[in-house]
Amino acid sequence: MATVLSVSGSPSASSRTDRLLRHLDQRLTAQGHQVVPLDIRTVPAEALLGADFRHPAIVAATDLFARADGVVVATPVYKASYSGVLKALLDLLPQYALTGKTVLPLATGGSTAHVLAIDYALRPVLNSMGAEHIVQGWFTLDKDITVREDGTVTVAPAAAEALAQVVDGFSAALGAELPLLAAAG
């Protein structure tokens, strides 16, 4: 089906955001999509903070965005906004890196006070980057995500149901747009 770039904006490898995203990647893979993970924390800090557009890691990330049909962007919420590492990478991508892409924004946080971070902080940036279709995103409370010692993830039933719906909606949007893109090409 489609190639999905799954972008983790978490600066921590053991974060609930990262674990939840990789858990959702499995659902997309089971639906027939090719999922390509990108953990921004693995991009060298000197490339991100030094705005080194020619650094091989930035060039590789830009290429991943270019090749993707759809992009899932997951971030923890800090200070009512998305993570700084995500901001640093988005700033280094071409202005219209999301043109023609379907995008699913996801966020995690400790309080429902941050639930609007997707719509007020992240969505405008994704839109300015030319996203073709930004599907309904979802905010998940940290307390609804349990990571076991073996790495498996369990999501509270209500949150799991909502996440399944937004992921399935994203998957359906990808499927609906692929014939249009093929016809245009």
Local confidence band at 181 (pLDDT 50, 70, 90 cut-offs): very low
Domain that holds residue 133: 3-184
Read off the pLDDT of residues 16-52 as tens digits, 9 standing for 90 and up: 999 999 999 999 999 999 999 999 999 999 999 999 9
CATH number of the domain to which 12 belongs: 3.40.50.360
Residue 179 has pLDDT above 50, yes or no: no
Burial of 42 (0-12, 13-18, 19+ CB in 10 A): exposed
Residue 183 has pLDDT above 80, yes or no: no
Residue 124 has pLDDT above 50, yes or no: yes
Structure tokens at 145: 């995500």
The confidence score (pLDDT) of residue 184 equals 42
Domain count for the chain? 1
- Is pLDDT at 175 greater than 90 in this prediction? no
d(CA 17, CA 144): 11
Q: What angle do CA 74, 92, 167 make, to 5 degrees?
A: 20
Average pLDDT over the chain reads 93
pLDDT 10s digits, 70-90: 999 999 999 999 999 999 999
Q: Tell me the average pLDDT across 97-113.
A: 96
